[in-house]
Amino acid sequence: MEEVLLEWAKTIHKENPVVDAHFDLAAEVYARRRYGEKDVVERCYLSYFQEASLNVIVSSVYVPTQELPEKGLHTAIGQIAALRDDLDPITDQICIVTSKKELDTALEKGKIAMLLALEGLDPVGTDLCLLRAFYDLGVRGASLTWSRRNAFGEGCCKAGEMREIPGGLTELGREAIRKMEELGMYLDVSHLNNDGFADVLKCARKPFIASHSNAWQIHPNYRNLRNDQIEELAVRGGVIGLNACGVIAGVPPLPKKQAFSRLCEHVEYLIAQAGSEHVGFGFDLCNGLSASTPRIYFQVEEDDLLSHHGEMVMLTAELLGRGMKEETLTGILGGNFLRYFRSVIK
């Protein structure tokens, strides 16, 4: 029976859009290329992308805390440049897109389309003029904060912590939302604290997403969304991306069956609260970035519940085995996020 479900899942992946709305790729590529590696995406990831029949990937541009504030802008631009350089030899298979037309053209040609998004506006500092500069570099989405305070607002605590952090958006944060909506950049509320989320509801005029957040009701973690937040995001036309980080999902990476079962619980709960058209995947796979980050103690964090993107098919098979209808699953696999991106990006 499991083999039948797996083959069914593979067919669904091949015949429908598949999207991962959050992957820390640019930071890893930047780190590896600085130490002399080449063709990082082709060597380390492309075969897994193809195994999952991925069509769209959002690469975050994430600046580590130790690079801030002095090197924030330098590091962010470096990540974008490094990723573009790394993809140059394989643009016939995967390419960065910056418009709805480029997105659709890539999909029509059977390429993997990659979008760029800032994970926190820290590289901008306090100069919102730089938001336009990042837009011109191809960035099409952004969260206001990572799990730390900046000039735009207060982030939630880190995933491994458990504490309420008060404080909403600053006036600059509200202005940033207006500027993003004007440019045609989407807003991501993952990593924002509860007060900041409430402020977003007051000033955002367009649909926004939580690219890599789960359900608080299934696992209480301040990176996850409460019922009222899930419902508000859905009412406004947004999409929530399932996070496959063990500490956020509330389960250790092994055994795999238990991990996938917990991920399915989050999906099913998000569907019950938001509606199936407002749920997708934003796995936040970080093992590669962790392994590429220089450290004093050579201990690598391994908290991803999927070993690689190829295991998306196994998760799909698990959802099928739990009785999810194929038409529901096709939206979650990628149809919902693809619809959102097409509506927001100019």
Which mean pLDDT values do the consecutive 10-residue runs of the chain (346 residues) have?
92 98 98 95 98 98 94 97 98 97 97 98 97 98 97 94 94 98 97 98 98 98 98 98 97 87 98 98 93 63 89 97 97 98 93
What is the rounded CA–CA span in Å between residue 15 and residue 53?
A: 9
What is the rounded CA–CA span in Å between residue 337 and residue 20?
A: 9
What is the rounded CA–CA span in Å between residue 114 and residue 110?
A: 13
Return the domain boundaries, the chain.
2-344
Q: What pLDDT is stored for residue 1 in this prediction?
A: 63
What is the rounded CA–CA span in Å between residue 153 and residue 193?
A: 9
Q: What pLDDT is stored for residue 125 in this prediction?
A: 96
Q: What pLDDT is stored for residue 290 in this prediction?
A: 86
Domain 2-344 has CATH 3.20.20.140: yes
End-to-end Cα, the chain, rounded Å: 44
Tokens representing 323?
A: 């009785």
Cis bond leading into 255, ω under 30°?
yes
Query: Residues of 57-94 as b/e, b for ≥16 C-beta within 10 angstroms?
Result: bbbbbbbeeebbeeebbebbbbbbebbbebbeeeeebb
Question: How many C-beta atoms lie closer than 10 Å to residue 136's C-beta?
Answer: 10
What is the rounded CA–CA span in Å between residue 323 and residue 170?
A: 45
Q: What pLDDT is stored for residue 294 in this prediction?
A: 67
Tokens representing 88?
A: 């140059």
Task: List, as own/partner pairs, every contact residues 66-70 make where C-beta atoms lie below 8 angstroms and the sequence separation is at least 24, other chains included.
Answer: 68/122, 69/122, 69/125
Q: What pLDDT is stored for residue 257 in this prediction?
A: 85
Tokens representing 85?
A: 């350089």
What is the rounded CA–CA span in Å between residue 61 and residue 49?
A: 19
Q: What pLDDT is stored for residue 108 in this prediction?
A: 97
Question: How many C-beta atoms lie closer than 10 Å to residue 130's C-beta?
Answer: 16
Q: What pLDDT is stored for residue 265 in this prediction?
A: 98
What is the rounded CA–CA span in Å between residue 247 and residue 265?
A: 15
pTM: 0.96
